Amino acid sequence: MNIFVQFYKSLFSPKDIALFRHQGIGKTILYVFLLTLLSVLPTVFYSGAGIMNGFNAIDETIDNQLPNFEIKNGQLYTDEKAPVTISKDDFTIIVDSTGAVDPSVLTESGNTIALLTNEVYIRAEGQEQTYPYSMLSGGTISKSDLSEFLASAESLMPIIIPLIGIVIYIFAAAIRFIEISILALAGLLIKKALAKKLEYRQLWRMSAYSITLPTIFFAIMSALQTTVQNGAIINWLVSLIILLLAIREVPAHNPK
């Protein structure tokens, strides 16, 4: 049976899922990779769009709002007499060559990049890092240098975003295989309770197709950027129910 026909039937037919237990393991693994690809497409799309939008916003902010500065001999120099704070959505940029901003105060802030007198302070997703300008080893960085660097980085986005997509896909595929393996273990208990003659490898194949419906559902929700409450519980529950219905379709084992 064509793999796309299998995909269609796996959405609603436990009887067909039961029949797939006899097919080769290679075709099942290929199906899992296809299903994983479909599930990560929304994530990859929105991640790529978010990165591009972030670069564009930062680039625009630097060009239009950031004051001229120069980092030389391990110190920040500007013409400003007071700290400059720029807020963009949930991101804040601070430029302070006066020494008025205390880094300890920034620990309560959100996502922040602060160019301070002798160091750059970065806070992202609750993680903090500081890098002294002395790491430049006598080099000089100005606003124009930063703009050119961002422009160069942005030109690499057609390469960087696909690489990020590949990493996301590989990670998601690994999670998917673990999920199927755990579901097949649960299938061992179900088949014993229902007195069905099934081996683990057959249950693994059936489990791979049983996750189709919840996987596609959550992919659609992701594409719509809609959060599903208790999504993990719903995912496991629906997968188990479909696997249960598929196991019931297997002829009973009647030992003589």
pLDDT bracket for residue 31 (50, 70, 90): very high
**What pLDDT sits at residue 125?**
62
What DSSP assignment string belongs to the chain?
A: --HHHHHHHHTT-HHHHHHGGGS-HHHHHHHHHHHHHHHHHHHHHHHHHHHHHHHHHHHHHHHHTSPPEEEETTEEEES-SS-EEEEETTEEEEE-SSS---GGGGGGSSEEEEE-SSEEEEEETTEEEEEEGGGGTT--EEHHHHHHHHHHHHHTHHHHHHHHHHHHHHHHHHHHHHHHHHHHHHHHHHHHHTTB---HHHHHHHHHHHTHHHHHHHHHHHHTT-PPTTHHHHHHHHHHHHHHHHHHTSPBP---
**What pLDDT sits at residue 256?**
47
Query: Is residue 253 predicted with pLDDT exceeding 80?
Result: no
Q: What is the pLDDT of residues 74-84, one digit of tens each?
A: 889 898 888 88
Query: Is residue 255 predicted with pLDDT exceeding 70?
Result: no
| The two structure tokens encoding residue 191 | 């088949």
- Looking up tokens 């002395």, which residue turns up? 134
Q: Higher confidence at residue 107 or residue 39?
A: 39
Q: What is the overall mean pLDDT for the chain?
A: 88
**The most confident of 172-176, 193-197, 227-231, by mean pLDDT:** 172-176
Q: What is the pLDDT of residues 120-170, one digit of tens each?
A: 888 776 678 888 888 776 668 888 888 888 878 878 888 989 999 999 999
| The two structure tokens encoding residue 44 | 């990859």
Q: What is the pLDDT of residues 215-247, one digit of tens each?
A: 999 999 999 989 899 999 999 999 999 999 999
Provide CB contacts within 8 A for 173, sequence distance 6+: 32, 33, 36
Q: Higher confidence at residue 147 or residue 181?
A: 181
Which is it for the CA torsion 222, 226, 231, 235, positive or negative?
negative
pLDDT bracket for residue 173 (50, 70, 90): very high
| The two structure tokens encoding residue 51 | 């990165």
Could you tell me which of 111, 133, 109 has the C-alpha nearest to residue 120?
Answer: 133
For the entire predicted model, the pTM comes to: 0.76
pLDDT bracket for residue 64 (50, 70, 90): confident
Provide CB contacts within 8 A for 38, sequence distance 6+: 215, 216, 219
pLDDT bracket for residue 179 (50, 70, 90): very high
Q: Are 117 and 76 in contact (CB under 8 A)?
A: yes
The CA-based dihedral angle spanning residues 246, 248, 249, 253, taken in that order and rounded to the nearest 10 degrees: 130
pLDDT bracket for residue 48 (50, 70, 90): confident
Query: Is residue 30 predicted with pLDDT exceeding 90?
Result: yes
Could you tell me which of 106, 108, 111, 109 has the C-alpha nearest to residue 119?
Answer: 106
What DSSP assignment string belongs to 11-35?
A: TT-HHHHHHGGGS-HHHHHHHHHHH
Q: Are 130 and 119 in contact (CB under 8 A)?
A: yes
> What does residue 245 show for φ and ψ, rounded to 5 degrees?
-65, -35
